[in-house]
Structure 1
Amino acid sequence: MKLPKLLFFLLAFSIFSCAKKEETTTFKFGVWTTADAKKSDADYTKEFKKYKDGGIDEVLINTTTDPKLLKRLVPLAAKEGLKVHAWIMAMNRPGDSVALQHPEWYQVSKEGKSCFDNRPYVDYYQWLCPTRKESREHVLHLVEELAKVDGIESVHLDYIRFPDIFLPISLLPKYNLVQDVELPQFDFCYCDECVKAFEKIHHKNPKESHNTSIDMEWKNFRLNAIQAVVNDAYAIAHKHNKQLTAAVFPYPEMADHMVRQRWDKWNIDEVYPMIYHSFYNEEIDWVGYATKQGVSDLEDKKTKINTGIYIPGLKNDKELKEAILLAKENGAVGVSFFDGNALSESNLKTIKETKASLK
């Protein structure tokens, strides 16, 4: 009599375990959206309901790092069944009233020009130095203020990198640029603090390097500076029982090359690589390729991947469905769409139908 009971227990345990695994590995759907404090609660409720009805599970909300606005929005989203991530522009801090009082906090180009008053590409590129104690502590303080907000899933880092040393290929004509080599006006950070810290470790001045583009110590110094900020942010988020997530460039080797960002080496819970195929003049199957590359690079880590999909870069809803399926088939745990304003009723219908087909 004891043997059948044991078998029954083992079978029940197996079923429970499988169900638990199924529950924790459900493919999720998210959307990035930017908040406006002037918008009414009723309007937000309507927006969040639209997302939920369209198959969206989570919203990554940019409140321009305002914890008070975030506190207001979290219960509204939760009431509609949505999880909330606190989206923060990390090293790029356009219009940051505190940072603007400290010109020395800003990154400096190889030409010796500061992001404080000489901004690369666009006026909102106002990048803080990840090495200087005061500027990195300012960013980490902002992370902590968001992490303290009850009900959020994660602090979601964006612009956690250096300015683009290489732009995505489809954007070059917009700026009338050719970037076949690293150009000094887009190569950062050569501020006094970075140079001093690098010299202390490597006993040489990067400004005197024969060719900084192949100086691996100088490149790694900057990769490590960003990694150190992420790892500190991870500790802060987890101290407040929140996760740390980030929007990153398509896959680690590419992120390393384009923006000094090596996200497969970070302490982080989940990454949302922005696999915007149209930016790189790639076809839709590149969504699968880049997702797989990132998943492969994270093979021995717990970090999970949510594939970022750029809605304006899709030709139609057929491509939207294909992008979602390519992400899932290549190892992503979810997808996130940029951005909420770009999602049409037809898009949301496709998302909902595609989500249903995955069950």
Structure 2
Amino acid sequence: MVKLLQNKSFFKLSAIAFLALTLSFFSCDHKTQMDGKFDFGVWITADAKRSNEDYSKEFKKYKDGGIDEVLINTQTDPKLLARLVPLAKKEGLKVHAWIMAMNRPNDSVALKHPDWYQVSKEGKSCFDNRPYVDYYQWLCPTKKESREHVLGLVEGLAKVDGIESVHLDYIRFPDIFLPISLLPKYNLVQDKELPQFDFCYCDACVSKFEKEHHKNPKTSHNTSIDMEWKNFRLNAVKAVVDDAYKIAHKHHVKLTAAVFPYPEMADHMVRQRWDKWNIDEVYPMIYHSFYDEEIDWVGYATKQGAADLEGKDTKINTGIYIPGLKSDAELKEAILLAKKNGAKGVSFFDGNALSDSNLKTIKEVKASL
């Protein structure tokens, strides 16, 4: 009798174990299906003067056109963001708080502190000597006060109810090399690193680097091949990102970022090595027309980034530049190339550039996936 009861208990436990295993397989399969969702996003810049009705109409247009999320630049205004989040969510859109991070043009707080800004190898500050364009006013990622200012702005946005992520942009150094198609616009030849575009040689960076590596980059015979100096700046950006990640997660939101096309390229062009960051998702701006590339480059660059992130939890959303596309057929091809090569979504720059025809194409492609 005891043996029979033991056998019944065994079979009962076995049945429970089998059920648990079955549920586990179902759960894994369900998770795989959920993870397989392909997202469509769009970057937009907000204007506080526009009415709620106007924004609701815009958000509805995006949702009807197959868009899932909006990445909104409110010039780091949490109140404006808080106003727009419920309007977007009501139309079924997720919202990301898009912030210009290290490049802070016309930042009223930062402008009171000229010593916060990055300094070129020529010794000129972004405060009043801006490279390329007037809106390039880059803060130093090493100096305590400037980085804390940026992280404070991140926290202000992270506190807004209902957002999906704080979305970092310009989280890098100024362009040491411009995209090739932009060079004629500035009448530049950049076949080597030029001192007027090489940052940051401020006192805080030089002093910290000297302390760590016992040499001064200002006296280096060739800073372009000084790997410690290069990595010092890559790590300065990484440190800001990693702190922003902690802040975002403290407030139960993700950290995402708009980045250069793939890590090796970002490293070379703007001192940005995003595959090393603590970050949930990246949105590499794979704007093929900026680099005089064909549409298949969208797939190539996406694949490069996906390979560098292999084994990590960070996900890729390929950024597509709408004005760089020749047709809706190219738009469809770009989306499919991104998906085929490892992206979990795409995002379009920007909302103003999306035509009704583009949105129709996006919706049709989305339905076919």
* Identity in percent: 83
- Find the counterpart in structure 2 of residue 190 from structure 1: 201
The question of 1:239 aligning with 2:250 is answered: yes
Equivalent position of 1:87 in the other structure: 98
Alpha-carbon shift at residue 145 of structure 1 (Å)? 0.4
For residues 67-109 of structure 1, what are the alpha-carbon distances to aligned partners after superposition, in whole Å with 9 as ceiling and x for unaligned? 0000000000000000000000000000100000000000000
1:222-247 Cα shifts (integer Å, max 9, x gaps): 00000000000000000000100000
Once the two structures are superposed, the pairs formed by residues 119-134 of structure 1 within 5 Å of their partners are 119-134=130-145
Instruction: Give the match for residue 343 of structure 2.
Output: 332
Aligned partner of 2:5 in structure 1 is: none
**After the TM superposition, which of the residue ranges 24-33 and 13-22 deviates more from structure 2?**
13-22
Aligned partner letter, 1:349: K
- Structure 1 residues 1-359: aligned runs within 5 Å: 14-358=25-369
User: What CA RMSD, in Å, does the superposition of the two structures yield over aligned residues?
Assistant: 1.4
Q: Distance in 2 between matches of 1:57 and 1:32?
A: 12
What are the superposed Cα offsets for residues 257-286 of structure 1, whole Å, 9 maximum, x if unpaired?
000000000000000000000000000000
Q: Runs of 5+ in structure 1 lacking a partner?
A: none
CA shift for structure 1 position 189: 0.4
Once residues 159 and 244 of structure 1 are traced to their aligned partners in structure 2, the CA distance between those partners, rounded to angstroms, is: 14
SS of residue paired to 1:152: coil
SS in 1 for 2:359: helix
Q: Could you say what secondary structure the match of 2:98 adopts? A: strand
1:23 shift after superposition: 1.9
> 1:122 corresponds to which letter in structure 2?
V
Give the paired residue count.
Answer: 358
Q: Distance in 2 between matches of 1:96 and 1:6?
A: 60
Q: Which has the larger Rg?
A: 2
Q: Distance in 2 between matches of 1:76 and 1:110?
A: 46
Distance 1:8 1:196 in 2: 62
- CA offset digits 1:285-322 (Å, max 9, x no partner): 00000000000000021101000000000000000000
What is the CA-CA distance between 1:16 and the residue it aligns to? 4.7
C-alpha distance in 2, partners of 1:89/1:11?
47
**Residue aligned with 1:94, SS:** coil
Code of the aligned partner of 1:346:
S
Taking the aligned partners of 1:300 and 1:212, their CA distance within structure 2 comes to 33
Quick one: structure 1 residues 10 and 194, their matched pair in 2 at CA, closer, same or farther if it must change by over 3 Å? closer
Taking structure 2 as the reference length, what is the TM-score of the superposition? 0.94
TM-score by length of 1: 0.97
**How many angstroms apart in 2 are the aligned matches of 1:65 and 1:36?**
12
How far, CA to CA, are the matches of 1:5 and 1:135 in structure 2?
A: 58
Distance 1:223 1:328 in 2: 29
